[in-house]
Structure 1
Amino acid sequence: MGNLVQAELRKTTTTGLWWGLLIPTVLLALGGGLLSGLIGQWFVNLISTSEAEELSQVLGVTPDQWRVSMFGMARSINLATLFPLVFGALAISGEISRRTITTTFLTAPSRMHAMLAKMLVYAFWGAVYGLAIMASTALGVVLVSESSQLPDAGGWAMLTLVCVLSSILMTMFGIGIGALIPNVAGVVVLLIMYFLVIENALQLGLRISGTPETLVGFLPNGSVDGLTGTVAVDLFLSTAGVVPEEGVEWLRIIAGAGGAQAWWLSGLIFLGWVGVAFGGGWALVARKNIT
């Protein structure tokens, strides 16, 4: 098994795909962090004007304690994890389309061993991407924000945990869908369209139709976004004073976690989607004829 893992790792490091996707990932996360910090600082300056003093007194908190940048950070992380999703999708679809999967299956003790080795290696890369995303987003926010706008050590640790977890799960989901749709261009376009357009339109339609908001949190994008979004909202509420329940739901929507469950439950829901995609891809690859 160790040799299979080494072989899979060598496949990824001897091509430029991992760093070719990592560069835009870091740039997007850094840009998102900078924008989040700037918007958060602008909002704090706006709410600090004399016209907003009464609102601050009612809430029992000074404006500089409103960590508005947390919402932008969650959005930035969620958007950046599209790159490890694509990276995972190319893990099998690229090999099948180029027929390099044949050598892998013929030299491995079984296809199950080959798939398990691939899963372990790409989980590692998902963690690498997650750490890079978190570091870049955090750097962007820190560069333009005051210390009062930043989370404490526990908050940073929690954001890092859910960011890495989200990145790993997105990579695994990509592998499963890539196995189900062994067409490089097709699977990449489909995944990006789904996470950026299709499900967002579906969520909007559900909200307009009056469907319970919690249903959104059970969709693939809604559940994975809930991982970081709910943590961001919790960090904001920890210093925001008294916020009514209706306001909390709007904060979740702003953070991209409208209708989401608690972060750990959102993670379990998306893990279920990963299991369906990966299990289906695994079953398809196990029966696929190789040439």
Structure 2
Amino acid sequence: MGNLVKAEFRKTLSLNTWWVLIIPLVLVAFWLTFVWGKITNDFADFIGSSEVRDISGPIGLDPDKLPVGLLALAHGVNIAQLIPALFGVFALAGEYRSKTITTTFLTAPNRISALTAKMLTYVGWGAIYGLISFGVSAVAVMLSVDAGRWPTAGQWLAALGGTVLAAVLVTLFGIGFGAVLRSVPLAVVLLLVWFLIIENVLVFALWGTTDILGGILPNGTANGIVGGIAASAFGINSLNLPGNVDHWTQLGLQLAAGSPGVISWWASALIFFAWTMVFFGLGWAGNQKRDIT
């Protein structure tokens, strides 16, 4: 297995994909965090002073010292995590496109070993992308948010762990999604359209009917890992939102954390892990008997 994992790392390093995707990862993570940091640095004016008192009172914080940098960081890393998801798409779908999947399967003892090695390799890549995303976003927070509004040490660590976990899971999700479709262009387009447009439209359109979609669909739960950490710090997730905050203000507040409908970070992680396993399992099963000639 060790040799198979080394072979997978060498394979990915021999291509330009891994470092080319780091460029948009850095740009998206930095600029989205920076812009959102500038907006949320004056958080009281952004969502209204009465809402700030509703939030800050129950959690015992001074409205002028809310850790709004955590909200900015959540937005930056949540959008940037699309990059490792796209990287994951290339893991199997890219090999079918380039016809290297035959060599991959024939040089391993069996397909289970080959796919396991690929999974372990891309867990490592996902963690690397997560670390880069967090580091860039952390710098953007420090440049755009007043020092008194930065996350606490514990919140920094929680956000770091959440970012790495989310990046690993979305990478595996991308592998499964690409493996099911076996087409890089189709998988990339559908992934971006669903994550950026369709799911968000559904969540907003049905908010008055049901608030649960953002807490159970793939994009919402992927965002809800780091977004849930930010929401919990402000007491604005669905479990502990102050009772005097109205229904639509709830949407605005949770949007500020980048995760409308979020239940909690750990629930989001578990639900998105389930989504990941569904697609990864389908891709895994489909590749056990698929003709590679």
TM-score (norm 1): 0.90
Residue in 2 that maps onto 1:271: 273
**Which consecutive unaligned segments of at least 5 residues does structure 2 have?**
none
1:207 aligns with 2:210: no
Q: Letter of the aligned partner of 2:273 in structure 1?
A: L
| Pairs aligned (count) | 282
**Structure 1 unaligned spans of 5+:** none
Aligned residue in 2 for 1:28: 28
**Kept after mapping to 1: 8 A contact 2:232/2:264:** no
Q: What is residue 3 of structure 2 aligned with on the other side?
A: 3
Distance 1:56 1:265, change over 3 A: closer
Task: Tell me which amino acid in the other structure corresponds to 2:291.
Answer: N
Report what 2:291 is aligned to.
289
Alignment match of 1:219 (pick from 211, 217, 220): 217
Q: Does 1:160 align with 2:160?
A: yes
Structure 1 residue 105 corresponds to structure 2 residue 105: yes
- TM superposition shift of 1:148: 1.2
Q: Percent of pairs identical after alignment? A: 42
Q: Distance in 1 between matches of 2:102 and 2:241?
A: 58
Q: CA deviation at 1:254?
A: 2.6
Taking the TM superposition and a 5 Å limit, the aligned residue runs for 1:131-280 are 131-208=131-208, 210-211=209-210, 213-237=211-235, 244-245=242-243, 247=245, 249-250=250-251, 251-280=253-282
SS of equivalent to 1:207: coil
**Residues 246 and 124 of structure 1, relative CA distance in 2, 3 Å threshold:** farther
Which letter maps to 1:286? Q
In 2, Cα distance between equivalents of 1:63 and 1:15: 49
Change (3 A) 1:69 1:99: same
Amino acid at match of 2:22: L
Deviations 1:87-108 (A, max 9, x none): 0011110101111000010110
Distance (Å, rounded) in 1 between the aligned partners of 2:34 and 2:116: 38
Which residue in 1 is equivalent to 2:84?
84
> CA contact under 8 A between 1:230 and 1:252: conserved in structure 2?
no
8 Å contact 1:36–1:70 — kept in the other structure? no
Call closer, same or farther: CA 1:106–1:150 in 2, change over 3 Å: same
Q: CA separation of 1:264/1:122 partners in 2, compared to 1, >3 Å: closer, same or farther?
A: same
- Contact 1:39–1:69 (8 Å) recurs in 2: no
Deviates more, 1:55-64 or 1:187-196: 55-64
Q: CA offset at residue 40 of structure 1?
A: 2.1
The answer to whether the 8 A contact 2:262-2:268 is kept is yes
Which moves more between the two structures, 15-24 or 141-150?
141-150
Q: Which stretch shows the higher mean deviation, 24-33 or 170-179? A: 24-33
Q: Report the Cα distance in structure 2 between the residues aligned to 1:206 and 1:74, rounded to whole angstroms.
A: 24
- What's the Cα RMSD here? 2.4
C-alpha separation in 2, matches of 1:193 and 1:18: 22
Q: Following TM superposition, by how much is the alpha carbon of 1:219 offset from its aligned partner in structure 2, in angstroms?
A: 0.8
Other structure's SS at 2:206 match: helix
Q: CA deviation at 1:237?
A: 4.2
What is the distance in 2 between the residues matched to 1:260 and 1:27?
26
State the alpha-carbon separation in 2 of the partners of residues 86 and 2 from structure 1. Answer: 25
Aligned residue for 2:126? 126
CA distance in structure 1 between the partners assigned to 2:88 and 2:37 by the alignment = 30
Aligned position for 2:94 = 94
Q: Retained in 2: the 8 A contact 1:30–1:140?
A: yes
State the SS of the aligned residue for 2:212: helix
Classify 1:19/1:254 alpha carbon distance in 2 versus 1 (closer, same or farther; 3 Å): same
Amino acid at match of 1:230: G
Distance 1:113 1:52, change over 3 A: closer
Change (3 A) 1:27 1:218: same
Structure 2 counterpart of 1:139, one-letter code: V
Structure 1 letter corresponding to 2:125: W
> 8 Å contact 1:88–1:178 — kept in the other structure?
yes
Mapped contact 1:115–1:282 kept (Cα < 8 A): yes
One-letter amino acid of the counterpart of residue 87, structure 1: F
Q: Deviations over 1:220-247 (max 9, x none)?
A: 1111111111101222349xxx972353
